Amino acid sequence: MRWWERDPWLELAQVLLRNPFRTLLSSLGVGWGLFMILITVGASNGLEEGVKADMGNRVKNSAFLWGESTSLPYKGYARGRGIVLTTMDVAFLEENATTLEAVAPRNQLGGWRGGNNVTHGLKTAACGVYGDMPVYKDIDPIVIMEGRYINERDLEDRRKVAVIGKRVRQLLFDREEQVLGSHIQIQGVTFTVVGVYRSQQTGEDAEESENSIFTPYTTFNHAFHMGDRVGWLSLLIREDVPGDTAVAEVLRLLKAQKSVHPDDPRGFGHWSMAEMHEEMTTVFSAFRWVSFVFGGLALFAGVIGIMNIMLITIKERTRELGVRRALGATPANIVVQIMVETLTLTVLAGLVGGIFGVATLEALDAFLAASEDNGIFRHPHVTLDVLLTALGTMTVLGAFAGVLPALRALRVEPVEALRT
Amino acid sequence: MIDLLGITKTYTTGAQSLQVLKGVDLAVETGELVAIMGSSGSGKSTLLNILGLLDGYDEGMYRLDGKNMAQLTERRAAELRREMLGFVFQSFNLIGFKSAAENVALPLYYQKVPRKERLRRSHELLERVGLLEWADHLPSQMSGGQKQRVAIARALAAQPRVILADEPTGALDSTTSEEVMVLLKELNGDGMTMVVVTHEAEIAAECQRTIRLRDGLVETGAHV
């Protein structure tokens, strides 16, 4: 076929438009298949973005580590000994760990989501109260809305200052009230508010985070009688070091320092953002593959539909094909004609499905962007390479679908034209 | 123009084989208008298929315009058909979704004639058969006689050496049959060689010579 000429395409349009309803129905399957691929891949992308955004802009190379009870006896100690980290261990790590950017000890009043009575005037609130180092802001970034974060001077002087979350402010202060410089009582100890922050996370994590109060680590330990105990360590891992390598080094150092058996799987608990991130990435790439496979199967079914309808039309067009042969069409002419018809039908159907798919994702994206609620699902989209892969697959499948009808058309002999 | 010598053709279906042509000898000279007659089963359809290069033969020799037609590939047969032969069918065999002009232009499409030239020639031919004003109509909008005239124009499009007509008036009433025969005779008058397969004696009578087929052999009229 000389594709740059008008005739073959006119011919094609005539054939396809001869029975427009049937053409539409038979191409529906392929369109739907491509639509499905785009929607599912787009949705899983959206979910991935949502979840990752929900994990916040918490720095990816952060890890958390705390003491637990041991499970092996070592150096005269019995198993089941509880390990308690102290300020000395922090200094030891700062000195000896080569894979860390920073070590920040943290303490908390109560457990996770433990509420503590905080008051301001007549108002009370239940918040999480933490003792923190200035560097913690680099590990779990927050946005300072007013005032400042904890600094080194606060730490040195054990100043009784507090940085409160947006939610705490809502609970304890009137809308117009001056917050900075006012006093709050945490378990009876008076602190001066020096800053207000909001979270970069979304959903429940943000709620929890904005319902917290940060105080200088030294002040906290002094005021709440923690001595030199450390609740847990926040670690900022060097950019060039993989998360698990750094965690392994820290564990090795701390096990030696705290006389824990080197092979003891317990003794310390840890949680690493890097590991979490890797897991998430794996889960979502699996998700995308599943979308592809199922969408591909739908596409395949659609292509079979097109092949089927082409086989039927060949049967119907036996006489036409015979006449064409009698008038001088070579077998090659006929094969090309049927292949091009099938391929065009498939690709057109796929394009329509693809356009609908992209349009739907765009609409969904616009809708989500417009709504204030930053849920777990955001910015559903497909990348260009997904789109091109889908279209490419469809073209290959279309060519595949054309083979059988073309062979069937070849079997039509020119003598058919003379049958009456 | 056409020389057949000892042509045989046997069809085999399963265990049964049937010799349809048992050694056909005949000749058609350039510019002749010849009728082939025979009762059903005489082998005239098979003969037409062989003459039209739509089917092969087993033994013998077929020379068309001096060229031997033995052992043709599908592709070569298609080329020869579009260069040398024009077909007129009993049931017209126009393509239903194409206009009269497009139907006439179809053989030229397979000859790779540019579109403009094709349409110019198809309009000329439609004028020749008196249907210029029907050029843009679909076959379904035409009468039987008109359809057959479009089909004749189509047969002429590729400027063939021979026109083969298979019962060209078989589906027409006597008035339109006469019109079609007049047209065919006019074309013959312009020098076109024509072979008309028919079972109607009146049609055969209008031809210059009648070749009678009986049981796979030529009975009478094999040569001028």
∠B57-B58-B64 over CA atoms, to 5°?
40
Residues found in chain A: 420
**Bridge partners of A164?**
A196, A213
> What's the whole-number average pLDDT of chain A?
86
The pLDDT of residue B120 is 94
Say whether A327 and B82 touch across the interface (CB within 8 A): yes
The span from the CA of A179 to the CA of A197, in Å, is 12
Is A413 touching B (CB cutoff 8 A)? Answer: yes
Chain A residue numbers with beta carbons less than 8 Å from the beta carbon of B96 are: 320
The pLDDT of residue A4 is 63
State yes or no: pLDDT of A154 exceeds 90: yes
Say whether A329 and B52 touch across the interface (CB within 8 A): no
The pLDDT of residue A56 is 57
Segment B1-20 mean pLDDT:
90
Q: Is A291 left (phi over 0), alpha (psi -120 to 50) or beta?
A: alpha
Is A404 touching B (CB cutoff 8 A)? Answer: no
The pLDDT of residue B189 is 93
- The residues, any chain, with a CB within 8 Å of residue A93's CB and separated by 6 or more, are A100, A103, A233, A250, A253, A254
Is A320 touching B (CB cutoff 8 A)? Answer: yes
> What's the whole-number average pLDDT of chain B?
91
The pLDDT of residue A241 is 84
Question: What is the b/e burial string over B40-53, where b = at least 16 CB atoms within 10 angstroms of the residue's CB?
Answer: eebbbbbbbbbbbb
State yes or no: pLDDT of B5 exceeds 90: yes
Confidence of residue B163 (pLDDT cuts 50, 70, 90): very high
The pLDDT of residue A60 is 72
Say whether B74 and A331 touch across the interface (CB within 8 A): yes
The pLDDT of residue A189 is 92
- The residues, any chain, with a CB within 8 Å of residue A194's CB and separated by 6 or more, are A147, A148, A161, A162, A163, A180, A181
Is A13 touching B (CB cutoff 8 A)? Answer: no
The pLDDT of residue A203 is 66
State yes or no: pLDDT of A287 exceeds 80: yes
The pLDDT of residue B99 is 92
pLDDT, greater one: A204 or A296: A296
The Cα of B83 is separated from the nearest Cα of chain A by a number of Å equal to 8
Segment B4-22 mean pLDDT:
90
Is B8 touching A (CB cutoff 8 A)? Answer: no
Segment A189-204 mean pLDDT:
86
Q: What's the burial of A111, exposed, middle or buried (CB within 10 Å: 0-12/13-18/19+)?
A: exposed
State yes or no: pLDDT of A57 exceeds 60: no
Nearest CA in chain B to A13: B97
Say whether B78 and A417 touch across the interface (CB within 8 A): no
State yes or no: pLDDT of A3 exceeds 70: no
Q: Give A67-100 pLDDT, tens digit per residue.
A: 999 999 999 898 889 999 998 999 999 999 999 8
State yes or no: pLDDT of A319 exceeds 90: no
Confidence of residue B208 (pLDDT cuts 50, 70, 90): very high
A183-186 own/partner pairs: CB under 8 Å, 24+ apart:
A183/A120, A184/A118, A184/A119, A184/A120, A184/A213, A185/A118, A185/A119, A185/A120, A186/A109, A186/A116, A186/A117, A186/A118, A186/A129, A186/A162, A186/A213, A186/A215, A186/A223
Say whether B98 and A329 touch across the interface (CB within 8 A): no
Chain B residue numbers with beta carbons less than 8 Å from the beta carbon of A14 are: 97-98
State yes or no: pLDDT of A43 exceeds 60: yes
Is A420 touching B (CB cutoff 8 A)? Answer: yes
In eight-state DSSP terms, residue A2 is: -
The span from the CA of B26 to the CA of B32, in Å, is 13
The pLDDT of residue A413 is 84
Confidence of residue A113 (pLDDT cuts 50, 70, 90): low
Say whether B110 and A333 touch across the interface (CB within 8 A): yes
State yes or no: pLDDT of A399 exceeds 60: yes
Say whether A418 and B166 touch across the interface (CB within 8 A): yes
The Cα of A329 is separated from the nearest Cα of chain B by a number of Å equal to 6
| Three-class HEC string of A167-180 | HHHHHHCCCCCCCC
Say whether A420 and B82 touch across the interface (CB within 8 A): no
- Write the residue in B45, B77, B110 that is nearest to A418 by C-beta: B45
State yes or no: pLDDT of A51 exceeds 90: no
Is A7 touching B (CB cutoff 8 A)? Answer: yes
State yes or no: pLDDT of A53 exceeds 80: no
Q: Is B223 left (phi over 0), alpha (psi -120 to 50) or beta?
A: beta
Confidence of residue A114 (pLDDT cuts 50, 70, 90): low
Per-range mean pLDDT, top range of A125-139, A205-219, A233-247, B25-39: B25-39
The pLDDT of residue A373 is 62
Segment A236-254 mean pLDDT:
87
**Bridge partners of A62?**
A236
The pLDDT of residue A384 is 87
The pLDDT of residue B10 is 92
The pLDDT of residue B124 is 94
Segment B51-71 mean pLDDT:
91
Is A335 touching B (CB cutoff 8 A)? Answer: no
The Cα of A332 is separated from the nearest Cα of chain B by a number of Å equal to 8
Say whether B81 and A328 touch across the interface (CB within 8 A): yes
State yes or no: pLDDT of A111 exceeds 60: no
In eight-state DSSP terms, residue A414 is: G
- Write the residue in A2, A320, A418 that is nearest to B48 by C-beta: A418
Nearest CA in chain A to B82: A328
In eight-state DSSP terms, residue B59 is: E
Chain B residue numbers with beta carbons less than 8 Å from the beta carbon of A326 are: 52, 54, 81, 87, 93
Confidence of residue A282 (pLDDT cuts 50, 70, 90): confident
- Write the residue in A7, A330, A331 that is nearest to B109 by C-beta: A7
Task: Give me the residues of B, 56-75, that contact A with CB < 8 A.
Answer: 74-75
- Write the residue in A323, A328, A420 that is nearest to B90 by C-beta: A420
Best of B93, B112, B195 to substitute, by most chain A Cβ atoms within 10 angstroms, is B93
Is B95 touching A (CB cutoff 8 A)? Answer: yes
The Cα of B49 is separated from the nearest Cα of chain A by a number of Å equal to 7
Say whether A325 and B78 touch across the interface (CB within 8 A): yes
| Closest to B160 measured CA to CA, from B111, B204, B94, B116 | B111
pLDDT, greater one: A2 or A249: A249
Is B138 touching A (CB cutoff 8 A)? Answer: no
Say whether B110 and A330 touch across the interface (CB within 8 A): yes
Question: Which of A53-57, A377-381, B37-41, B113-117 shows the lowest mean pLDDT across its residues?
Answer: A53-57
The pLDDT of residue B7 is 94
Question: What is the b/e burial string over A118-149, where b = at least 16 CB atoms within 10 angstroms of the residue's CB?
Answer: bbbeeeebebbbbbbbbebbebbebeeeebeb
Backbone angles phi, psi at A55, to 5 degrees: -70, -10
Say whether B107 and A418 touch across the interface (CB within 8 A): no
The Cα of A420 is separated from the nearest Cα of chain B by a number of Å equal to 7
Question: Which of A42-56, A90-104, A314-328 shows the lowest mean pLDDT across its residues?
Answer: A42-56
Would the pTM of this model clear 0.80, i.e. be above it? Answer: no
Is B107 touching A (CB cutoff 8 A)? Answer: yes
Say whether A327 and B48 touch across the interface (CB within 8 A): no
So what's the ipTM on this one? Answer: 0.89
Segment A241-251 mean pLDDT:
87
Segment A1-12 mean pLDDT:
68
Q: What percent of chain A has pLDDT over 70?
A: 93
Segment A218-241 mean pLDDT:
89
- Decide the pairing of beta strands B209-214 and B217-220: antiparallel
- Write the residue in A5, A15, A327 that is nearest to B110 by C-beta: A327
∠A387-A390-A391 over CA atoms, to 5°?
85
Confidence of residue B105 (pLDDT cuts 50, 70, 90): very high
Confidence of residue B22 (pLDDT cuts 50, 70, 90): very high
Is A371 touching B (CB cutoff 8 A)? Answer: no
Instruction: Identify whether the C-beta of residue B211 lies closer than 8 Å to the C-beta of residue B36.
Output: yes
Structure token digits, residue A94: 């700062």
Nearest CA in chain A to B55: A415
State yes or no: pLDDT of A202 exceeds 70: no
The span from the CA of A187 to the CA of A225, in Å, is 12
Question: Which of A185-194, A266-275, B97-106 shows the lowest mean pLDDT across its residues?
Answer: A266-275
